[in-house]
Amino acid sequence: MLSVLCKCIPAVLLSAVLCSCATVDNNNRTMIDAITHFDDSGLKAERIYPALADMIKAEAGAVLILDGQRFEIYKYNMNIPEQREKIERIRRNGEITIVGFKYKVLVNGSFMLLNYQGHPREADIIEAFENFK
């Protein structure tokens, strides 16, 4: 019995590690889908304008103004190796460096949330972002 248990433990541990590394597969979703999701979550932006996605090697980006303060969403295309590697590195580090400054970020599949910290609706923004599938 003990030998069977010892054989199962590595498989269980491997499964736990693989599950914890799993990410949301939302690569087929668009920036408009993400913005619509925020709207549907009660976070309708007062203004939306494009962000400089190229600067951080993302496919698209948007700055949303909500309650007078901004936060940003970026989309990386997992089908483009450079973008996939970039978002995976960001996910591992939990931050991104832009023009020499480090920013804490959240990653959900192909999407990254930036400049949300300190926003009056920070908890709501995080919850909506994490629920975007």
Q: What is the CA radius of gyration of the chain?
A: 18
pLDDT category, 109, cuts 50, 70, 90? very high
Specify the pLDDT at position 12. 38
Give per-residue pLDDT as tens, 8-30.
444 433 333 333 344 579 999 99
Give per-residue pLDDT as tens, 53-104.
999 999 999 999 999 999 999 999 999 999 999 999 999 999 999 999 999 9
Which residues on neighbouring strands pair with residue 112, listed in sequence order? 74, 107
Residue of 22 and 106 predicted with greater confidence: 106
pTM score, two decimals?
0.81
CA distances from 16 to 13, 19, 97, 113 (A): 5, 5, 30, 26
